[in-house]
């Protein structure tokens, strides 16, 4: 444990220190190669122009290189592998995609992902909006916001471990250490193995992601609510609108763009959900989702690069249109689009 902590600290120091040294050194070298001081006026102007042309590339260049190596290349390679056989050596055309849509487990994963899409973005956005509105009206609102936001700092695996204790089941006659089963037993009910109950276990897993992401929705929507002109609220009050009418007819329409951005951001996250399912059920008891199914085919049982890559491409095709729309909506909200 100590070695891991020291390794993490060392990595952070080297990473951050390396970035500082690179940008500081690159600026120094650029200023030395094209000096703007101690030279004639015309030469100084030319050197400043050259610095202006080169400096952005010094800043953006490393990021572009990293994106190319760790994002663009893997996408191209994944596309190639999706048309190859199990070992990634022989071309098989669309056989992997044909298999995917004919496979019962893949169809079950699609169904589960659709369930997640129907519930999680809506629940996170709804709870985040309600909390954002209510916490603005109480003196301890910032404390409440901090508590709601806290789960966002926890990794998906860490959150899943926490919720495993909530759903924990012990055999009859033993003390129930799971909070949910302890409460059920206290109320006279029978403890249940919650996460192994087909269909309903999906909703128990969704609760974890809702618990994590509600804080994100709350922060974004709280910021949007603060941007609503007070004059519109005051005018509605003068016209006799009650609090519910003010909320639904005045506030929500004015922050609809932010609501859409939050909704689609969480939708993208849901399409890629993996850690929670892997940690809690590993896709058992009909709780499989696309990302975990991709992992199973790619890295387990000897691995099938072709089928795993095909599932990855399908996930990417589902995510990309939403991501593009989300970026455009965010730009429009920020005044970058018309």
Give 165-221 pLDDT, tens digit per residue: 999 888 777 777 888 888 888 888 888 888 998 999 999 999 999 999 999 999 999
Find, among 160, 149, 155, the residue nearest to 201 by Cα: 160
Check whether residue 138 and residue 230 sit in a common domain: yes
Which two three-digit tokens encode residue 274? 């993996």
Residues 6+ apart with CB under 8 A from 100: 106, 307, 310, 311, 314
Q: For the whole model, what pTM was predicted?
A: 0.80
Q: What is the CATH number of the domain that holds 239?
A: 1.10.3720.10
Kindly state whether residue 97 falls inside one of the protein's structural domains.
no
Check whether residue 161 and residue 30 sit in a common domain: no
Kindly state whether residue 130 falls inside one of the protein's structural domains.
yes
Check whether residue 71 and residue 121 sit in a common domain: no
CB of 64 closer than 8 Å to CB of 96: no
Check whether residue 161 and residue 222 sit in a common domain: yes
Residue 38 Rama label (left phi>0; alpha psi -120 to 50; beta): left
Check whether residue 37 and residue 113 sit in a common domain: no
Kindly state whether residue 32 falls inside one of the protein's structural domains.
yes
Domain of residue 194, residue span: 103-336
Kindly state whether residue 162 falls inside one of the protein's structural domains.
yes
Kindly state whether residue 171 falls inside one of the protein's structural domains.
yes
- Looking at residues 266-294, what average pLDDT do you find? 91
What is the per-residue pLDDT for 30? Answer: 87
Check whether residue 274 and residue 166 sit in a common domain: yes
Check whether residue 281 and residue 158 sit in a common domain: yes
With cut-offs at 50, 70 and 90, classify the pLDDT of residue 37: confident
Check whether residue 116 and residue 257 sit in a common domain: yes
Please tell me the total count of domains within the chain: 2
Which two three-digit tokens encode residue 96? 């992997």
Check whether residue 75 and residue 134 sit in a common domain: no
What is the per-residue pLDDT for 302? Answer: 66
Check whether residue 195 and residue 295 sit in a common domain: yes
With cut-offs at 50, 70 and 90, classify the pLDDT of residue 338: very low
Check whether residue 32 and residue 156 sit in a common domain: no
Average pLDDT, the chain: 87
Check whether residue 51 and residue 137 sit in a common domain: no
User: Of 46, 81, 116, which residue constitutes the final position of a domain?
Assistant: 81
User: Of 21, 51, 81, which residue constitutes the final position of a domain?
Assistant: 81
Kindly state whether residue 207 falls inside one of the protein's structural domains.
yes
Measure the CA–CA gap between 147 and 131, rounded to whole angstroms: 11
């Amino acid at each position: 444990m100590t070695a891991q902590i020291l390794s993490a600290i060392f990595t952070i120091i080297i990473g951050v220190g390396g970035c500082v040294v690179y940008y500081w050194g690159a600026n120094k070298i650029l200023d030395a190669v094209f000096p703007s001081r101690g030279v004639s006026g015309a030469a100084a102007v030319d050197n400043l122009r050259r610095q202006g042309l080169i400096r952005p590339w010094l800043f953006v260049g490393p990021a572009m290189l990293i994106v190319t190596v760790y994002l663009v290349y893997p996408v191209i390679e994944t596309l190639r592998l999706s048309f190859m056989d199990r070992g990634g050596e022989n071309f098989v055309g669309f056989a992997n995609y044909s298999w995917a849509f004919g496979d019962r487990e893949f169809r079950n994963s699609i169904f589960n992902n659709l369930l997640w899409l129907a519930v999680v973005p809506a629940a996170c956005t709804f709870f985040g909006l309600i909390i954002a509105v209510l916490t603005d009206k109480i003196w301890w609102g910032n404390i409440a916001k901090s508590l709601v936001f806290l789960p966002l700092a926890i990794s998906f695996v860490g959150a899943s471990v926490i919720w495993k204790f909530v759903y924990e089941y012990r055999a009859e006659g033993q003390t129930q250490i799971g909070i949910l089963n302890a409460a059920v037993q206290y109320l006279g009910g029978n403890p249940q193995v919650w996460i192994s109950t087909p269909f309903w276990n999906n909703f128990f897993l969704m609760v974890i992601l809702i618990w994590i992401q509600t804080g994100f929705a709350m922060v974004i929507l709280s910021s949007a609510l603060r941007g609503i002109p007070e004059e519109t609220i005051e005018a509605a009050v003068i016209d006799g609108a009650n609090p519910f009418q003010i909320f639904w007819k005045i506030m929500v329409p004015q922050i609809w763009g932010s609501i859409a951005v939050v909704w689609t951001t969480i939708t993208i996250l849901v399409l890629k959900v993996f850690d929670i399912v892997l940690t809690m059920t590993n896709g058992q008891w009909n709780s499989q989702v696309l990302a975990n199914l991709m992992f199973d085919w790619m890295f387990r049982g000897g691995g099938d690069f072709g089928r795993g890559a095909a599932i990855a491409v399908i996930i990417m095709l589902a995510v990309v249109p939403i991501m593009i729309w989300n970026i455009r909506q965010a730009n429009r909200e920020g005044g970058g689009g018309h």
